[in-house]
Amino acid sequence: EGLLEKDRRDNQNIGAHGASDILGRVPGGGPVTLLTHCNTGTLATAGYGTALGVVRALHQRGSLSRVFCTETRPYNQGSRLSALELRHDGVPVTIIADSAAAAAMRERGVQAVVVGADRVAANGDVANKIGTFQLAVAARHMGIPFYVAAPSTTCDPTLASGRLIPIEERPGTELTHLGGVLLAEPDVDVWNPAFDVTPHELITGGIITEWGVFAPSEVCRAL
């Protein structure tokens, strides 16, 4: 029960720090339009959420215009879970295909990208749900700040860089089948990594923790 309360408190602090930092970058102080990936909310944590905690904090302040939520293929954690949570909380959310993210940044006024993390290496490289790396590349090209929201326990100072983070590979049927229906040639080769690593230099907004917002290269040392 103590861990449950600590996790909620840490996530609420992550949300508050992230919301303040994002609003400080926006002319006029908001409201802001965000884009997020995968599920980082109450269904992924003990309560409130990390990246979705930032979304919730902005919404509670009346400073959120809309959040674009990627479907997060192939397992659809974004459309099945994140969108469900946000709708439940009355947060304005729009689901987009993963392949529409760069277009949404350009055409729908996205002002920041906020994602979670499964592990942060000593140099600030971050492992997160597959598709995060390409979001960071697109955000860098568009000049949009890219944030990672994660508790301090996610930092792993024993790993010098993200290249040392083991990446899970999941069954190919997640890509070739939907509801038991085969969608691809039955013997086709499939590569289905569950995560990718985003280099620290692409995390332009910073890494948001319960202690504040840090430059990626400083976060593990600071914590």
pLDDT category, 157, cuts 50, 70, 90? very high
The Cβ of residue 175 has, within 10 Å, a number of other Cβ atoms equal to 17
Position 47 scores a pLDDT of 86
Mean pLDDT rounded to a whole number for the chain: 96
Res. 98: pLDDT tops 90: yes
Separation of alpha carbons 108 and 221, rounded Å = 37
Q: Was domain 3-221 assigned CATH 3.40.50.10470?
A: yes
What was the pLDDT predicted at 18? 98
* C-alpha–C-alpha distance, residues 195 and 77, integer Å: 13
- The answer to whether 52 and 148 have CB atoms below 8 angstroms apart is no
CA distance 95 to 37: 10
Is 118 an active-site residue? yes
pLDDT of residue 134: 98
**Active-site hit among 118, 187, 189, 196:** 118
CA distance 68 to 135: 12
Which DSSP helix (H) or strand (E) runs through 73? none
